[in-house]
Structure 1
Amino acid sequence: MFMDVNSAYKNIAGFDTPNPMQTAVWQAITEDNDMGIGLLLKGLTGSGKTEAVAIPAINENRRLIMVYPTRSLVDDQIMRFEKLLTNYSCHNKGQLVTLTVDTGAQSMRYCYRNGKTEPTPGGERSTRHLYTGNVIITTLDKFIYRFFGFGEPLKSYIFPLRIRYMNPIICFDEAHSYDEIAFINFERLVKTLYQNGKDIVLMTATMPMQYLKRFHDLDVFDFASGQGARAMADWKTYPHPGKHLYHIPASIERLEDAPSEAIERIIAETRQRYQFDKRMIVTIESVKDAAYVYTQLRDEFRDNIWLYHGRLTQARRKEVYAKLKEQEGKENGRYLLISTSAIEVGCDLDAHILISQLCDPDRLIQRAGRCNRKQAIPDASIVVVGDNIPEWATALTEQQPKYLQELQAQNGKLFNPEPLVPLMEKELVSDPRVEIMFDMLHEYVYDARLENKNLHENGLVITRSWEPSIILCQGEDENGLLCEAITVPISYCRTPKDEQPITLLLGTDGGGLQKRVFNKDERRFENKTVGKWENGYKADLLFDFGTQGYEDYDPKLGYVNLPFLFEGPIPAGAKKFMRRQEEAHEAKIWYIDPENVTIKANEIVGETAVTANKKDVA
């Protein structure tokens, strides 16, 4: 049963009426258009961009693929789409509607009929759906993996088939959040899909001009500034639309292992400004500093304080986020959340107070969107602490002095993000190796160019970095799922000078450095010993602490201090390698040096040379 725009928003989303942005997107998606859909939707955080695309797609019974930059953001969206699909099924009696969550090594399917959740045929982990269903939510990395048909050989070809021929709407949320190689793949993917007739929507709140220019073929719907923003402001009057900004300069310099003045000031501001019946978010740039702030405050705030960062296990992140949402659902819900940037992108939280370590302007705007998100909190405030941004955490160069001046100009006043937008800096990089590999894979999968077969058979696609990652875990459960697992870049586990790599005790069950490969005969993943000279791109690397466990791991703190596992990285011509010695066995894991002058792809995959000169990459 197809509904008109007002009925659809009321019955599916529970909104009284759609806002001007949602009405405009509804018309773009539902009207007959021989040219297809190609939208770049700009809207402020909390303005309803997700519903703007989801409601017309669900109502028109179009398959919607929602692509997000991170797994944590996918976790955040599950409850949101469950509500939409449950409501939709209430008004379409007898129709089965489904939600697929496709991340990492797991793909989950949920079914709804007549306003209720139904058991999934074959179980939630059944892979029979293979990209069928009403809504699919996934990450960019996993979508690229599916787009090129990687995975179990007997089934993986079905994903490209259904992406190409079953006419989905493919929506990329937080489109501004990709950098370097990730942006190269993102741009290449969007343009390839659009040029091949796929319906595409990009959604963003803070996309810098350098990125906007790369998508000039798309129709821009701008409701974040200018006339569009005024239309949104005129549409509805909110009781408390603003929040005050306070900037406190404080040094970020460390003295040996002591925390910086900025971190100590953040702790002091948290104690001073926290109120028992309010919600507060504190964002810190590094995991180590965030864990320090949490440990300094947890005895005072007891059951009301939570820690959230990227080195917590996925299960713990989901648990923490569920607790936060539970508090937000209460009339006087309260929490104190200590987080890194892992929480800033797209998560639907609504705090009274945000305290943030100084960060780049685009990230500050994103974090500000978690404060007074629904514009109903009186006296909401943002406190920015710091006189500089850590070099590893910023893209700013020339604009940083102007940025600090603007924060001081707004000190004590209502926060206005518009002057910050021109100060955003994003460095666009070019890597012909990544671009050529993307094109070769596309030609093989979609045009049957057999000369590129070897690249595909080796399972190689560089999605974010030339540096491979490693999974840290502590055994497996009875279903073969990894316990207490996280994934980090392999260099994060290098051993500093004057330290020794961690060793496992003799007799530790199931421990050590391994690689996770797919057994084609038994159709399951299994762990094998890493070779003496191992290609870091051909298999998932894994370090299992086994029954010994990792003494620095705490379930609530996560992997704050990562283990020392490798010596390196050690240069070796066009490559780098990480070395690990375990008893009598030596393992060397090599990967391409991204800064090398000349790289040949046949060193990676065995055939088909791809050469990039340094001047072409710069």
Structure 2
Amino acid sequence: MGEGIGRVFFLKDEVGFQPLSNHQGLVVKLLESWREGDEPLALSPKTKERLLLAARYHDDGKRFTFHIVPDGKGGLTYSFRGHRFRVAQAVQDPYAQALIRGHHDYSTREVVNLAADFLEEGLGHRFPEDLFLLMMADQLEAELAVRLWQRRAGEVRPFVEFDLLPDGEGGFLLDPWPFRVDEVALDFLVYFHPYRGEEAKVVEGWGRALVGALEEGKVPEAFREEKRRVRLRPWAAGARKADDPEAFYDRFGLKPTPFQREVFKVAEGDPAHLLLAPTGTGKTEAAAFPALARGERLVFVLPTRSLVDDLEGRFRCYLKILAQEEGRPKALVVDTGHRQARFRFSPDGQEEATKERHLYHADVILTTLDKLLYRYFGYAEGVKSYTFPRRIHDRRTLFVFDEVHLYEATAWVNFRHLIASLYKAGVRFLVMSATMPGTYREELLLEGTLEHPAAKRPSRVLRYMPQGNPMEIIQSHRGKRVLVVLEEVKEAAELYKRLKGEGVFLYHGRLAEGQRRRVFGEVKRRDKAQEPYLLITTPAIEVGVDLDAEVLVTTLCPPENLLQRLGRVNRRGGGQGEAYVVGETYPDYLGSLPEGYLELLKALDGQDLAQGGEERLRQAIRYPKYLDPRAETFFEALQDYVYGLDLTQEPLHRKGFVATRGWTPSVRLRQGEDEVEVPIDRLVGRKEELTPVRVVERLLTDGETGNRRREEVPLRSGELYGRELVLNYPYPYDPELGFVELPKVFQRLRHPDPQRVQLLYAPEKDAGEAPEGVMDTDQVTGGGRRVLWYLGESAWAEPAKSGEVAEETEEEEEEGD
């Protein structure tokens, strides 16, 4: 193996060159010390020698690709671009060759395509883990080198699985500990040359001269040699136990309930349990605390962004306390379609927020089912996207799926398939619900059910007012904590404008991210301090959010929605809440109400629902059993590609699309820095309703320097899946009100296929009439017109009476025979 440059350090007055032999030798030493076994982060005896062979030569190509280049900031940097594709002739083993070629690209398609070559050998599913270990050892060595020579005592990069903590002079504590020995010592070697601002070619010449001299067993006089030893030891508190719920809850000034103690005990094993408990009974802590006590990665999956906002504050508080008590940093990731942020909590109480790629490198991840599905199938920007599937299937990760009874149609199909896949892979998860219908339970692979014992319900008096005036009710309760829930954003915004003043807030799903979080934060502050507020909202906030309003005013809604809204009233049970249901009609486009439901509301009028009324409402819920054959096929195809290494499904994965809640694509409305997503069918209208608006497509492209950036290009005809459409909001915009009015931008075209929705986009007002007959997507007829299409919704419901299992279809009966 020839000599080369492994790494370059640019210091104030010197340039340091680490020999390639030293860098590669240290990576090999790390892997030689690694523990073996079948658990995560362990070497496999079957492939250990092939992995070590790859490690010895993984950077051999740097001998031919070393260059010093300007960094674009007035300084210099170094480059080994393309070195992983130059495999040393000494490496003849195809498996080791593939590890070398892949060791700087852990993207989903790169990993799957390389791993598929070893399916017949029986090593296809081992390859991603070996590649991960090679890259981990490589980056761990790099992190240590940077901390030694450039004194960067920051956080390890998100791809690295470990946390590094200072351990005296020249020492670091590592958590988790991956080695079979109790201590690992690494000897770093760097040759320094004086630097006075010379240009790139001169500095590159120094490096090449050093390599030539080292190959002859010499060191040029201009260089000084420096060696440093680094000592790695395990973090003493890394081996955590979760056998004392009382002690762990006490860290946060809490005392566990019998239900929470039972969940703590069950979570010691391999849980795949359903937790049933009413709102306000501590389900969140019951599910989360066992994982936090064991130091596991906790992924909390929620159905709405309002729930993410609610839990974010609670987990930030918990992690901040744990960081100070344990003496090591903690991290929280918020990962939704609108937001990607990472918070780091230091033992000294400091908090740092970053927007870097997080790669699930955190103690707690708060996400939505929609976003999790994309991560599950390895979709992410950059070359580390397969980190998500790898960490999702790490058995040290615990998933908690909350409020799952809210998933419908396509979302339910995806959820059912997702937890079935996790179960088969041995990944632990808990499913939580305040109301889980029997028709849904039977479809889940669960080991058992833990149900919260019946407890005294908070007092809530229901008043049904078919002809009531919401304004009069609100005015009669000013000075209290009042929650008003309307079905439409426009209605909520109009009411807010009429009542706007001190303590009045508007919250809905079409507020920009920052405004939505500011409103929620202030309402939560007032709620905790028991200060009065009037929160006008839509169903966006009804689910699981920890509010303790005194009064609820809601328009008529189905019983499942009413129960959720009631859960925000007198949540703590400190008095008597009041709930007003106003109206006697429910919009057809929102669905239908159960038979006899209005009569039930009249019967409950004036009653305290704690005396059996809530149970009667629960019995009135009519849950359908949803089927979506297309979603089933889609999920299975992507599963076969990402985890089954079936390359025939690669074209589907390349589309970059997952039908998360349905088959209708979304469009982003934009006003300055503010953006929201709306389903494209909400922007469809008749020709006379259309608003001329320029719609563009936002692409992620590779820049000249290799950095990826977003670029906006003109809209093109064709299929809409996997594309990001953006339009500038054409109406007056008030951040407090949000994107209230929705412009009509697209016109529906006829198509002979009933499952295909075809739209005409005509940005110019005089673009002419919609064409007669069927228009193909490749027909562009002037005026900037484009023809777009997507699939119509395929889910259909088979209604089931409350508490009963829906009857099977004839096809299902035949299959059962």
Q: TM-score band, normalised by the shorter chain?
A: 0.7 to 0.9
1:110 maps to which residue? 343
2:332 maps to a residue whose letter is L
Scaled by the length of structure 2, the TM-score of the pair is 0.63
Matched, 1:502 2:697: no
1:229 pairs with 454, 459, 462, which one? Answer: 454
State how far apart, in whole Å, the 2-side matches of 1:106 and 1:292 are: 28
Helix, strand or coil at the partner of 1:119: strand
Task: Give the number of aligned pairs.
Answer: 534
2:691 maps to a residue whose letter is I
State how far apart, in whole Å, the 2-side matches of 1:450 and 1:307 are: 49
Q: CA contact under 8 A between 2:629 and 2:794: conserved in structure 1?
A: no
State how far apart, in whole Å, the 1-side matches of 2:728 and 2:562 are: 37
1:282 maps to which residue? 484
Q: CA contact under 8 A between 2:759 and 2:788: conserved in structure 1?
A: yes
Helix, strand or coil at the partner of 1:190: helix
State how far apart, in whole Å, the 2-side matches of 1:349 and 1:596 are: 34
State how far apart, in whole Å, the 2-side matches of 1:570 and 1:355 are: 42
Q: CA contact under 8 A between 1:395 and 1:426: conserved in structure 2?
A: no
Alpha-carbon spacing, 1:384–1:586, altered in 2? closer, same or farther (3 Å): same
Alpha-carbon spacing, 1:570–1:315, altered in 2? closer, same or farther (3 Å): farther
2:247 maps to which residue? 7
1:322 maps to which residue? 521
Structural RMSD (CA): 2.2
1:523 maps to which residue? 708
Matched, 1:537 2:721: yes
State how far apart, in whole Å, the 1-side matches of 2:536 and 2:339 are: 28
Alpha-carbon spacing, 1:65–1:381, altered in 2? closer, same or farther (3 Å): same
1:140 pairs with 348, 369, 377, which one? Answer: 369
Q: CA contact under 8 A between 1:110 and 1:117: conserved in structure 2?
A: no
1:23 maps to which residue? 261
1:390 maps to which residue? 587
Q: CA contact under 8 A between 1:82 and 1:99: conserved in structure 2?
A: yes
Q: Which structure 2 residues correspond to residues 186-225 of structure 1 after superposition, within 5 A? A: 186-215=415-444, 217-223=446-452
1:461 maps to which residue? 658
Deviation at 1:460, TM superposition (A): 2.5
1:484 pairs with 674, 695, 700, which one? Answer: 674
Matched, 1:246 2:463: yes
Q: Which structure 2 residues correspond to residues 297-446 of structure 1 after superposition, within 5 A? A: 297-298=499-500, 302-330=501-529, 332-376=530-574, 378-396=575-593, 399-401=594-596, 403-415=597-609, 416-446=613-643
Helix, strand or coil at the partner of 1:418: helix
State how far apart, in whole Å, the 1-side matches of 2:794 and 2:300 are: 34
Q: After the TM superposition, which of the residue ranges 204-213 and 431-440 deviates more from structure 2?
A: 204-213
Scaled by the length of structure 1, the TM-score of the pair is 0.82
Q: CA contact under 8 A between 1:513 and 1:530: conserved in structure 2?
A: yes
State how far apart, in whole Å, the 2-side matches of 1:581 and 1:349 are: 45
Deviation at 1:106, TM superposition (A): 4.0
Q: CA contact under 8 A between 1:37 and 1:200: conserved in structure 2?
A: yes
Q: CA contact under 8 A between 1:88 and 1:115: conserved in structure 2?
A: no
1:266 pairs with 441, 463, 470, which one? Answer: 470
Helix, strand or coil at the partner of 1:229: coil
Alpha-carbon spacing, 1:51–1:569, altered in 2? closer, same or farther (3 Å): farther
State how far apart, in whole Å, the 2-side matches of 1:309 and 1:457 are: 33
Alpha-carbon spacing, 1:168–1:386, altered in 2? closer, same or farther (3 Å): same
2:784 maps to which residue? 585
Alpha-carbon spacing, 1:216–1:143, altered in 2? closer, same or farther (3 Å): closer
State how far apart, in whole Å, the 2-side matches of 1:282 and 1:104 are: 27
Helix, strand or coil at the partner of 1:23: helix
Alpha-carbon spacing, 1:454–1:40, altered in 2? closer, same or farther (3 Å): same
2:552 maps to a residue whose letter is L
1:52 maps to a residue whose letter is A
Helix, strand or coil at the partner of 2:502: helix
Which residues of structure 2 form unaligned runs of 5+?
1-236, 765-782, 797-809, 813-817
State how far apart, in whole Å, the 1-side matches of 2:281 and 2:630 are: 38
Helix, strand or coil at the partner of 1:443: helix
Deviation at 1:328, TM superposition (A): 1.8
Q: CA contact under 8 A between 2:628 and 2:794: conserved in structure 1?
A: no
Structure 1, residues 473-527: CA drift from partner, whole Å, max 9, x if none?
A: 024xxxxxxx22111011111123532x2225xxxxxxx2111222145322222
1:337 maps to a residue whose letter is L
Helix, strand or coil at the partner of 2:649: helix
Deviation at 1:75, TM superposition (A): 1.8
Q: CA contact under 8 A between 2:338 and 2:513: conserved in structure 1?
A: no
2:364 maps to a residue whose letter is V
Q: CA contact under 8 A between 1:72 and 1:342: conserved in structure 2?
A: yes
Deviation at 1:92, TM superposition (A): 0.8
2:196 maps to which residue? none
1:432 maps to a residue whose letter is P
1:64 maps to which residue? 298
Helix, strand or coil at the partner of 1:131: coil
Q: CA contact under 8 A between 2:666 and 2:679: conserved in structure 1?
A: yes
State how far apart, in whole Å, the 2-side matches of 1:117 and 1:65 are: 23
Matched, 1:185 2:423: no
Helix, strand or coil at the partner of 1:387: coil
Q: CA contact under 8 A between 2:323 and 2:347: conserved in structure 1?
A: yes
Q: Give the number of the structure with larger relative contact order, counting CA–CA contacts within 8 Å between residues 6 or more apart.
A: 1
Q: CA contact under 8 A between 1:552 and 1:559: conserved in structure 2?
A: no
Identity %: 35
State how far apart, in whole Å, the 2-side matches of 1:488 and 1:461 are: 16
Q: CA contact under 8 A between 1:471 and 1:485: conserved in structure 2?
A: yes
1:604 maps to which residue? none
Alpha-carbon spacing, 1:428–1:158, altered in 2? closer, same or farther (3 Å): same
Helix, strand or coil at the partner of 1:285: coil
State how far apart, in whole Å, the 1-side matches of 2:329 and 2:247 are: 20
Deviation at 1:49, TM superposition (A): 0.5
Matched, 1:80 2:314: yes
Which residues of structure 1 form unaligned runs of 5+?
251-261, 476-482, 505-511, 598-613
2:319 maps to a residue whose letter is L
Q: After the TM superposition, which of the residue ranges 103-112 and 318-327 deviates more from structure 2?
A: 103-112
1:125 maps to which residue? 355
State how far apart, in whole Å, the 2-side matches of 1:41 and 1:204 are: 6
2:644 maps to which residue? 447
1:473 maps to which residue? 670
